[in-house]
Amino acid sequence: MLAREAAAAGLAGRAEESGRLADLGSDEVGTIVQRRLRGLGEQAAAVARAAAVAGERAGPDDLVALSGLGEQETRTAVALLIDAGVLEQGGRSFVHPLVRAAVTATIPRGERARLHGLTAERLRARGARATEVAAHRLLAEPAGDPEAVADLREAAGVAAGEGAVETAVELLRRAVQEPPAADDRADVEIELGELELRAELPDGVPRLRRALEDGPTGDRAARARAALAFVLVHTDPRAALDEAERARAETTDRGLRLRLEALELEALTFVDALDTDRVARMRAGAEDASPSSVMLSYLALESSCAGRTPEETIGLVGRATADGTLDADVGPASSTWNLLTHALRFAEDAEGCRRLLEDGEARMRRDGLRLAGLFVNQSWGYWHRDFGSVATGAARAQLGLDAVRGLGLDVTAPALAAITAENLVLLDRTEDAASTVDVPLGAAEGTYVEPYVLSARALVRAHLRRTADAEADLRRVIAAGDVRGWTSPLTTRGRLRLAELLATHGDRDEARELAEHDVAVARAAGTPGALGAALRVRARTLEGDERVEALRESVDVLAPGPMAMEHGWALLDLGGALRRRGSRSDARDVLRVALDRAAGAESVLLARLVREELEAAGARPRRERLSGVESLTPSERRVAELAAEGLSNREIAETLWVTRKTVEHHLGHAYGKLGISSRTGLPAALGLVATG
């Protein structure tokens, strides 16, 4: 039919006529279809409407039932519709989707809902999949049908299991409208509230509160309280603790109890005023012969922050993750998982931390755990600051910060702001870092995240030469860490940063005392990254050959480890010390290695300072290559390689967890450096295919 109308309109099928054909479809097909159906009679129109609603899987008996005609009348109508070019041969499908849409548009709303309801009932009777049945239930009128509620709930479970959380929410909202029977209503409301929270929708919290007002008990109430506590731990940790404790007393479900234990420990860990209770709980956990995977996670965190050996921390992490319950029942959408990644990072287990992050990210994508993105991005931000690319770290942290601000999670937002600012400083974007973190603490004050935010803010203030403000922040960081028993140098970097600040401004005695504290802790623990960092800062309190030797030890300790950025800073200081001692040639050799470290970590700040020192040492520091594969930054190369593999900008952004704008930015730079104009030239330019 559409083809005949196109011909009548003088279209010959040329490519340049595609827009005219679309206009014909959108503007004229409806009129054409209505005219043709009127000419075929009401029975044919009724069958056409039935076919439009029931879809291609409808059989003759479905058309009979939905049209209300007899079998012979239905067969006759189908034949007329085929002859008229409305239906394909066989009578199961329309000749074009536009034709089906035009027929659907002719059906009055109430009639269309009735037909969808009948279709759902017929599909259910013959055992169709719940998702297929529910597609029609969504479009039928609510009728208080328990079978409709069951279909919608089952389909929502399938959608949620496949990560389609928004679809699951839509299905359960329709189930609530049905409505469910009185005995089932609370369950449906709680299921919906949980999914709304998972999808970051604002209706979830008030829905769950209303559900609890109805007085549910047992596992039903515990699930609602657990979902509420999950959100409250980021806005009101005390209230979260109350909800979690009440829920644990109400449930016997093992997985739910583990999730609630995680929420309790998260709340206890976050609020400084609850530290006495936290210490008691941790002491009991340490004495337990078989602690849960959640308790083991917090024992690992405590071990790493207290400056114990990496072997102890990594062993606890291994036990926490061994039986799979932490992943299955708690998962990456939780502070518990987030803190476990930091425990591995403090233990300087870069690869172990990366694997845990990648596993959590895979789970997040598979299950549609949007809120997990906040934790994943924050953890990646810190991982890249310490072990990877600060450009990627800044991008990941900024994504998390944007999301958490949009959700109004007042306790969590400063934590994302802190690591965003840290990476921005290393990108030599101090003003941007200041606008991100140099603000009042707000809801973060008196919480676990306060020392991290203060440390980041002090770093920014020190670079802005606001020395007194930076010093005040860092003294608060150290005091907070001492209360919690945090002696590990790299937990908050408070002593290291204060020592460096004091040494720079002349108070070398206190600076040396602070640095020597961290040197002793790191030597006892056997953490080379922390030791190298502490030795570098301690060297700033020394002069002449003593400084050079201390810096050589720092460089040697850091060289084999994963902390490339820290190694770069030690090399920079050593190069400067050698130059000032008169060993300019040796200084240049050291500084060239420092420049490589800066390039690998993509730290614009470190690279700038190294070049300045090289120039002072009489060298002409190499400039960044302006063209060719070697000129690409690590981020540009990674984006270009994924584009060469055929991924779209959206797919690249999802793979690397950056924005599409970031992908476009990196690709534009890559094209210019490689001398190409589009992604079709990437494989050859990157050497991924033979060019000869």
The pLDDT tens digits for 35-83 are: 888 889 999 999 999 999 998 888 889 999 999 999 999 999 999 999 9
- Contact 195/168 with Cβ under 8 angstroms? yes
- Average pLDDT score over residue span 334-358: 95
Write the pLDDT tens digit of every residue in 158-167.
888 776 888 9
Rounded Cα gap, residues 428 and 625, in angstroms: 20
The yes-or-no verdict on residue 434 having pLDDT over 80 is yes
- Contact 225/186 with Cβ under 8 angstroms? no
99-108, 257-266, 317-326: least confidently modelled range: 99-108
652 lies in which domain range?
629-685
The yes-or-no verdict on residue 1 having pLDDT over 70 is no
**Residues belonging to the chain:** 692
Both tokens assigned to 456? 């980041």
In a domain? residue 551 = yes
Nearest to 444 by CA among 275, 302, 271, 274: 271
Q: Compute the CA torsion angle 581, 499, 610, 527 (nearest 10 deg).
A: 100
Q: Domain end: 344, 369, 394, which one? A: 369
The yes-or-no verdict on residue 339 having pLDDT over 70 is yes
The yes-or-no verdict on residue 189 having pLDDT over 80 is yes
In a domain? residue 561 = yes
The yes-or-no verdict on residue 589 having pLDDT over 60 is yes
633 or 522: which leads in pLDDT: 522
In a domain? residue 482 = no
Prediction pTM value: 0.74
Specify the residue for token string 């337990």. 288
Cα 646 to the center of its chain, rounded Å? 23
| Residue 304 CB coordination number (10 Å) | 32
For the chain, the distance separating the N- and C-terminal CA atoms, rounded to the nearest angstrom, is: 52
Rounded Cα gap, residues 265 and 140, in angstroms: 46
pLDDT at site 28: 65
pLDDT at site 612: 96
In a domain? residue 593 = yes
Both tokens assigned to 669? 């730079």
368 or 443: which leads in pLDDT: 443
Residues 606 and 634 in one domain: no
Q: How much is the mean pLDDT over the chain?
A: 88
| Residue 71 CB coordination number (10 Å) | 11
pLDDT at site 610: 96
Residues 77 and 193 in one domain: no
Phi and psi angles of residue 235, each rounded to the nearest 5 degrees, phi first: -125, -35
pLDDT at site 74: 93
Residues 169 and 75 in one domain: no
Write the pLDDT tens digit of every residue in 122-153.
999 988 898 899 999 999 999 999 999 999 99
Band (11; pLDDT cuts 50, 70, 90): very low
The yes-or-no verdict on residue 22 having pLDDT over 60 is no
In a domain? residue 454 = no
Residues 154 and 67 in one domain: no
Residues 101 and 130 in one domain: no
Q: Domain end: 572, 589, 623, which one? A: 623
- Average pLDDT score over residue span 253-263: 93
Band (639; pLDDT cuts 50, 70, 90): confident
Residues 204 and 249 in one domain: no
Q: How many domains does the chain have?
A: 5
pLDDT at site 7: 45
Write the pLDDT tens digit of every residue in 363-421.
888 877 777 788 899 999 999 999 999 988 998 898 888 888 877 777 788 999 999 99
Please give the full DSSP string across 175-243, using - where no structure is assigned. Answer: HHHS---HHHHHHHHHHHHHHHHHTT-TTHHHHHHHHHHT---HHHHHHHHHHHHHHHTTT-HHHHHHH
Residues 651 and 548 in one domain: no
Percent of the chain with pLDDT over 70: 93
Q: Domain end: 350, 369, 388, which one? A: 369
Residues 245 and 331 in one domain: yes
In a domain? residue 241 = yes
- Contact 434/408 with Cβ under 8 angstroms? no
Both tokens assigned to 388? 């990877």
Write the pLDDT tens digit of every residue in 261-312.
999 999 999 989 999 999 999 999 999 999 999 999 999 999 999 999 999 9
pLDDT at site 691: 42
pLDDT at site 81: 92
Residues 256 and 334 in one domain: yes
Distance (Å) of CA 293 to CA 170, 263, 347, 361, 377: 34, 13, 19, 20, 23
In a domain? residue 119 = no
In a domain? residue 431 = no
The yes-or-no verdict on residue 333 having pLDDT over 80 is yes
pLDDT at site 624: 56
Residues 76 and 200 in one domain: no
631 or 473: which leads in pLDDT: 473
Looking at the chain, the number of H-run helices and the number of E-run strands are 40, 0
Contacts of 53 (CB under 8 A, 6+ apart): 66, 104, 107, 112, 115, 116, 119, 136
Percent of the chain with pLDDT over 90: 59
Residues 615 and 635 in one domain: no
pLDDT at site 217: 80
CATH number for 156: 1.25.40
CATH number for 643: 1.10.10.10
Phi and psi angles of residue 179, each rounded to the nearest 5 degrees, phi first: -95, 175
Rounded Cα gap, residues 349 and 312, in angstroms: 12
Write the pLDDT tens digit of every residue in 476-532.
999 999 999 999 999 999 999 999 999 998 899 999 999 999 999 999 999 999 999
The yes-or-no verdict on residue 234 having pLDDT over 80 is no
Residues 239 and 333 in one domain: yes
pLDDT at site 669: 87
Nearest to 344 by CA among 365, 358, 323: 358
